[in-house]
Chains A and B, each alone.
Chain A
Amino acid sequence: MTELQKQSTPDRTAPDGPAQDGPAQEEAVRPSDPAADPEADPEAVRFALPAALVGAAAVVAVGSLWGLWYLPFLSGLAIGTATAVRALRARTAVLAGTAAALAGWGAPLVWRAASGEAVAGTARTVAALAGLPALASLVIAVTLLLGLLQALLGVWLGRTATAALRPAR
C-alpha cells in the first residue's frame, strides 16, 4: 500500500468523536453514500486526489492573477467538504489544502521571479513600508501563510459544516 493509499484509507480504528490530527477539530465522518467510499475504487482515488490538488492549485494561481485573493479559502472549503463526504481523514484534508494553497500562491511568485521581475526587491520594499524588518523572505512567507491560513480555514469549515449538515442516522 502506498503512502497516499494509507492516508486515504478511513481510519476504522479511530473512535467516534473529534479527530485529533490537524488544526481542524471536527467530527470523524462516515461515508453516507457507499458509492463515495474510496475503498470502492482505490485506483480512482490514486489519481483523483492528485488531479484535484493540481486543479485546485491551478484555480488558485490563475485566480490570483485576477486579484481573487479568497480562492485559497474556497479551495480549502471544497477540499474539506469533499474529504468529509468521502470520509477521508482530516490529515489528508489538511495536507491537500496546504498543498493547494502553497502551490497556488507560490507558483505566481516563482513565475514572476523566473520572468525577471524583482520579486525579492519588491518584497523588501513592502516589508519596509509595513514597518517590518526589510527582509524579502518575511513578506514572501507572510504571503504564503495568508494563503495557507485561508485554505486551512476552508478545510475546517468544509468538514465541520458537512458533519453538521449530515442527516442524523
Chain B
Amino acid sequence: MPRRIRTATHAVAAAVVSGLVLALLALGIGPVPALGTALVPGAGVWDSAAGAELPHTETLALAGLDAPVTVAFDDNGVPTVKAASDTDLFQAQGYLHARFRLAQLDLERRAGRGRLAELNGPASLESDRFELQMGLLRTAEAEWAATPPDSPAGRALTGYTRGVNAWISELRHNGQWPAIFSLTGVYPSDWTPVDSLVIQEVLTQSMDFTSTPLDYAIFRDSFGEERTMDWFPVHAPNDQRPYDPGPYRDLGIAPLPANVNTAGPDGRTAANRSQPRPAPVAPTGGSDPAGEATAARTLLDTIRALPATQIHTFPDSNAWAANGPAVAGGNAMLAGDPHLPMTLPSYWYQIALSSPETNVTGASMAGMPGVLIGRNADISWSLTDAQNQSTVFYSEQTSPDHPGQYYWNNAWHPMERVEYTIPVRGGDAEHFAVDLTVHGPVLTRAGQTTSVDWMGNIPSPDLAVLLSVNKARDYQEFRTALADWHAPTLNFAYADGGGNIGVVAAGYFPLTKGGNPWFPLPGTGEYDVTGAIPYDATPQAYNPPNHVVATANQRPVSADYPYYIGTSLNAFDNGYRANRIYQFLESHPAMTAADFTALQNDVTDYLATVIVPHLKEALAGTTLDARQQAALDVLDRWDHTMRPGVAGGPIWWTFWNDYLETTFQPWWDQAKVPVDRDRRYLRVSSALPSLDENLEAWTLRDPANPTFTSPGGPARTATDAMRTAFAQAVSELSQDLGNDPATWTWDRVHSRQIPSLTDVDALGYGPKPAEGDRWTVNAADGGMTSTFGPSWRMVVDWKAPGTATAQAVYPGGQSENPASPWYRTFVPYWWEGRNLPLLMAADQPASTKVWTLRPGA
C-alpha cells in the first residue's frame, strides 16, 4: 500500500475511533451513562462529595422568606427550626428536606407520577404504567385544585415548595447534585405542590391499596367459594383483642365525595382528560370466575413486581397508650412504632418546628410539610395502619358489539381515556392510555376487564388535617381534626398531658350496595360503593376503663360490629402482637418510659406461648430419636423469645411453618393453586394470617378438624400433624445447622437488612443477625432476612399538662448521601433498642451548627 494511503488510513481510523469514544462519553449508550460529564473530576458526580459535608454555622439567603429563620442542628443532624410564621417555617422545612433528601424526593415523586423509567430505564416501565393507571397524579392534581391558596395547607405547600426549589436552584448553580443525578444525567425538575401530594398518594397507596380480592379470586377459582371462605373467613376464629370492644352504633351510611379517577361528570371536572373515544375491544363479556382469576393473576404479576415502598406488604405497626394507675405518676404515656419497609434513607426526617402558630417535634415525611408522628406542647400521637379493605375490584361487563364501552345501570357507557407519554432512559418514549369506568381505572383486560374503586383516589385533605393535629391542644381538637382525614385509613393513637389516652380510626371505610366485596364484584351497578362508615361510628376508644389501649393492626372491633371493614386474609393482623402488648400492659402497673421501651423491643412470640405447650403434649408418650428428644429438651427450657443466641426460636419457627405445610399443602397441591403468581399471599406460609389463625384455633379447640386429613389420605388430627411437623422440623434443622439442637440459635437463621432506596446492596445496612419475627412486638417481617419492621420508635411520657419527656429513634440517618456521617447515624441506637431524646424546639441545647436563613435572592 502506498505510504500516503497508509498514513491517511491511520489518520481516518484515529479520527473515527476518537469520534466514537468521545460520542460515547458525551452521550452514553443504553444503560451506560454519559461518563464524560459524569466523571469529570472537577464537576459531575464528584461535586456530590460536597453534599456529604456536615453543615457549619453560616448565613444563607433564601428567596421568599418574610423574616429570618434559624436552623440549629444537633450532633446527629436533627434540626430545630425557628421561624416567625408558619409559611417561613415550612419553607425552611422544604429547604432542609431538599438539602438532605433530594434524591429521595425525586424518586418518590417519579414513582407516583409514573416517571421512574425516565431515570431507571425500561425496567421501571411496569411501575410507571401501573401508577398512571392507579391515578396518583390525577388525584394529587385534584387535591391541589381543591386546596384554597390562602388556607393553612395551601400556604404550607406553597412555602414548602419554595424551600425545595431554593435548593434545586442552588444546585443548578453549584452543580453539587446527588450522585444519582450526575451519573444518569437526568436532573430533577422544579418542585410543585402537586409533587408533595403525589408523595402523599404514594404513602397512601403503600398503606391502603390492597390486592386481597385478587387473591380471593384465585383461591375461589382453586378451592371453590365455600372452602375459600372456610379457610379465609371474614372474622378470624382465634381470640383477639380489639381496641374498641363496643358497644357499637349503627349510624347508617355516610356519603362519599367524588372519586376523581372515574368516568363521569365528577371525574371529568376533577382531572384534565381527553374526550371519550372507543377503547380497544375487550375480550370478554360478562364476568366469570375463571376470567377473574386470569385477571387476578395478571394484575398480581404487576403488583408484586412493584418496589416495596409502593405496595402494602405487612401489617406490623404498633401504638399503645396507658394512663392513671397504669403509669408511674398517674398521668399518661404513649408509645408508637409504625412499621414500614426499612430503607436508607428512611421515610422519616426528624425535625423540631417552632413558630408563633406551631410548636411540634417528631418524624416528618420527606416530601411533606409538618410532622406526621410526634408531640407538641399538649398532645402526642402515633399511627398504625387500620388494615380495612379500602379497595374494591370490579369485573366490568364488556362486549365486542360495544367497543370501548361497559355495561352499567342497564345501559352501555363509554369508557373515558387519559393518555400519557412515558419517557424511557435509553429507549423510546412509550405512549400509554388509561381507560376509566364509573368505578375507576381499568387495570387489566386479561381474562376479564377489571377496574378498581380505591379510596385513595378520593382527594383527602391530609395535610390540612395534619397541620391541625400538629396544633391540637386536647383530644377534642385532635378528634375533630381527624374527621376530615379520608385516606389512608389509619389508627391514630393518642395521649396528652391531661392524662387522657385514646385511639381514633380515621379515614374512609367503604361500603357496597351488596355482594361480597372481598371478591371482585360485578360492575353492572348493583354492587357499587355507596358510601362509608360515618366518622362517629368508626372504631375509636377514649380513656378505657382498664387504662390501656393498643393498636397493632388487629381487627379493631369485635364480630358484632355492624359494618363490614375487611377480612382475615392479609387485611388484619392475626392479633398476636396486640395480644402480647395487652398482656404486658395489663400485668405491669405504674409503668415507666423504660417499660414502654422494653415492650417496643420485646421479642416474645405470643403464638409460641400458646402452641408450644400443646406441641409438648402431642409429643408426650411418643418415641423420639435422640436428636428429637434433644430438640424437645431445648423447647422445654425456651422462654419463647426470638433472641439472638437463644436456642429454641428456630425449632419453633420451623415447626410452625412445617405444621402449616403438613396441614394445608396437600390441599394446595390438589387444587393446583398458582402460588407463583403471588408467592407472598398465595403459598402456604405463616405470612397468610388466616391460616395461622385457623391452625391456632383448631389446635386449641378443634383438633379433629377435617382439614388435618389430607385429600385421599388416612384420618389425622392436630396431634398427628404436630408430630409429623416436629419430626420434619428437626430433620431440616439438622441438615442446616448441625446435629446439636442446643446450638440452633435464632441468629443463625434470621437477620435484618435495611436496603437502600435505590435497591443497591452496598448502600444499605446489613444483613446482620437479628432478633424478632413477624409476630413479636419488635417485628421483623419479610422473610428470614427481614427488611420490614419498626421504622420509628417513640415514647412520650406526660408528667403534667404541657410537660413531657419524649424519646425516639429510627433506623437510618438524616442525610441520604451515603458518604455523609449522617447517613446511618441512628442505626446503631435502633439496633440496640435505645431511643434518643426527642426535644421540643425550646428544649434544644446550644448548637455549633446554626444556619441563619435570611430573605434574599
Task: Judge whether B49 and A64 touch: CB under 8 Å.
Answer: no
Other-chain residue from B37, B46, B175 in contact with A108 (beta carbon distance below 8 A):
B46
Task: Judge whether B183 and A129 touch: CB under 8 Å.
Answer: yes
Beyond A67-B43, A160-B14, whether A125 also contacts B179 by CB under 8 A is: yes
Q: Does B52 belong to the interface (CB within 8 Å)? A: yes
Task: Judge whether B15 and A130 touch: CB under 8 Å.
Answer: no
Interface-central residue, A26, A121, A126, A128, by most chain B CB under 10 Å: A126
Q: Does A34 belong to the interface (CB within 8 Å)? A: no
Other-chain residue from A64, A70, A73, A146 in contact with B42 (beta carbon distance below 8 A):
A64
Q: CB-CB contacts of A63-90 with B at 8 A, as 1s and 0s? A: 1111111100100000000000000000
Task: Judge whether A128 and B762 touch: CB under 8 Å.
Answer: yes
CB neighbours (8 Å) of B14 from chain A are 24, 26, 153, 156-157, 160-161
Q: Which of A7-15, A38-46, A110-118 contacts B (4 or more CB under 8 A)?
A: A110-118
Q: Does B22 belong to the interface (CB within 8 Å)? A: yes
Residue on B nearest A135 in the bound complex, by CB:
B762
Task: Judge whether A122 and B45 touch: CB under 8 Å.
Answer: yes
Query: A22 to B21, alpha carbons, bound, how many Å?
Result: 19
CB neighbours (8 Å) of B36 from chain A are 69-70, 146
CB neighbours (8 Å) of B25 from chain A are 69-70, 146, 150
How near does chain A come to B80, taking the closest CB pair, in angstroms? 25
How near does chain A come to B728, taking the closest CB pair, in angstroms? 40
Q: Which of B2-10, B533-541, B680-688, B804-812 contacts A (4 or more CB under 8 A)?
A: B2-10
Task: Judge whether B37 and A67 touch: CB under 8 Å.
Answer: yes
Query: A119 to B53, alpha carbons, bound, how many Å?
Result: 11
Task: Judge whether A128 and B15 touch: CB under 8 Å.
Answer: no
Q: CB-CB contacts of B28-55 with A at 8 A, as 1s and 0s? A: 0000000111011111111011101100
Query: A114 to B762, alpha carbons, bound, how many Å?
Result: 26
How near does chain A come to B799, taking the closest CB pair, in angstroms? 43
CB neighbours (8 Å) of A131 from chain B are 760
Other-chain residue from A61, A119, A160 in contact with B11 (beta carbon distance below 8 A):
A160
Other-chain residue from B8, B53, B818 in contact with A124 (beta carbon distance below 8 A):
B818
CB neighbours (8 Å) of B17 from chain A are 153, 156
Q: CB-CB contacts of A135-164 with B at 8 A, as 1s and 0s? A: 000010011001101100110110011011
Q: What's the interface size class on B, roughly?
A: 35 or more
Task: Judge whether B40 and A67 touch: CB under 8 Å.
Answer: yes
Query: A62 to B40, alpha carbons, bound, how many Å?
Result: 11
Q: Does B819 belong to the interface (CB within 8 Å)? A: yes
Q: Does B758 belong to the interface (CB within 8 Å)? A: yes
Task: Judge whether B42 and A118 touch: CB under 8 Å.
Answer: no
Query: A161 to B758, alpha carbons, bound, how many Å?
Result: 46
Other-chain residue from B21, B26, B818 in contact with A125 (beta carbon distance below 8 A):
B818
Residue on B nearest A106 in the bound complex, by CB:
B41
Task: Judge whether B41 and A122 touch: CB under 8 Å.
Answer: no
Task: Judge whether B10 and A73 touch: CB under 8 Å.
Answer: no
Other-chain residue from A109, A120, A163 in contact with B41 (beta carbon distance below 8 A):
A109
Task: Judge whether A121 and B10 touch: CB under 8 Å.
Answer: no
Task: Judge whether A161 and B762 touch: CB under 8 Å.
Answer: no
Q: Does A99 belong to the interface (CB within 8 Å)? A: no
Other-chain residue from A27, A119, A133 in contact with B7 (beta carbon distance below 8 A):
A27
Task: Judge whether A67 and B42 touch: CB under 8 Å.
Answer: yes
Q: Does B180 belong to the interface (CB within 8 Å)? A: yes
CB neighbours (8 Å) of B37 from chain A are 67, 69
Query: A130 to B15, alpha carbons, bound, how many Å?
Result: 29
Q: Does A1 belong to the interface (CB within 8 Å)? A: no
Interface-central residue, B3, B758, B817, B819, by most chain A CB under 10 Å: B819
CB neighbours (8 Å) of B763 from chain A are 125, 128-129, 134
Q: CB-CB contacts of A21-51 with B at 8 A, as 1s and 0s? A: 0001111000000000000000000000000
Task: Judge whether B819 and A129 touch: CB under 8 Å.
Answer: no
Query: A67 to B22, alpha carbons, bound, how many Å?
Result: 14
How near does chain A come to B333, taking the closest CB pair, in angstroms? 40
Task: Judge whether B11 and A161 touch: CB under 8 Å.
Answer: yes
Query: A69 to B21, alpha carbons, bound, how many Å?
Result: 13
Q: CB-CB contacts of B756-773 with A at 8 A, as 1s and 0s? A: 101011110000000000
Task: Judge whether B758 and A129 touch: CB under 8 Å.
Answer: yes
How near does chain B come to A122, taking the closest CB pair, in angstroms? 4
Q: Does B18 belong to the interface (CB within 8 Å)? A: yes
CB neighbours (8 Å) of A149 from chain B are 21
Residue on A nearest B758 in the bound complex, by CB:
A129
Beyond A124-B818, A160-B10, whether A64 also contacts B183 by CB under 8 A is: no
Task: Judge whether B39 and A146 touch: CB under 8 Å.
Answer: yes
Task: Judge whether B7 and A164 touch: CB under 8 Å.
Answer: yes
Q: Does B734 belong to the interface (CB within 8 Å)? A: no
Beyond A69-B36, A109-B41, A125-B819, whether A150 also contacts B21 by CB under 8 A is: yes
Task: Judge whether A112 and B49 touch: CB under 8 Å.
Answer: yes
Task: Judge whether A105 and B41 touch: CB under 8 Å.
Answer: yes
How near does chain A come to B613, taking the closest CB pair, in angstroms? 48
Q: Does B852 belong to the interface (CB within 8 Å)? A: no
Query: A134 to B39, alpha carbons, bound, how many Å?
Result: 16
Residue on A nearest B34 in the bound complex, by CB:
A69
Q: CB-CB contacts of B259-296 with A at 8 A, as 1s and 0s? A: 00000000000000000000000000000000000000
Q: CB-CB contacts of A89-112 with B at 8 A, as 1s and 0s? A: 000000000000000011111001
Q: CB-CB contacts of B157-194 with A at 8 A, as 1s and 0s? A: 00000000000000000010001100100000000000
Other-chain residue from A67, A119, A168 in contact with B44 (beta carbon distance below 8 A):
A67
Query: A121 to B179, alpha carbons, bound, how many Å?
Result: 11
Task: Judge whether B43 and A65 touch: CB under 8 Å.
Answer: yes
Task: Judge whether B762 and A134 touch: CB under 8 Å.
Answer: yes
CB neighbours (8 Å) of A134 from chain B are 762-763
Residue on B nearest A26 in the bound complex, by CB:
B10
9 tightest A-B contacts by CB? A121-B819, A64-B42, A134-B762, A65-B42, A69-B40, A118-B819, A128-B762, A164-B11, A117-B49
Q: Which residues of B contact A (CB under 8 A)?
A: 3-4, 6-8, 10-11, 13-15, 17-18, 21-22, 25-26, 35-37, 39-46, 48-50, 52-53, 175, 179-180, 183, 756, 758, 760-763, 817-820
| Given A73-B22, A118-B52, A157-B14, 19 extra CB contacts under 8 A | A18-B6, A26-B14, A65-B43, A70-B26, A106-B41, A121-B52, A122-B49, A122-B52, A125-B817, A126-B45, A126-B183, A146-B36, A156-B17, A157-B11, A157-B18, A160-B14, A163-B11, A164-B4, A164-B7
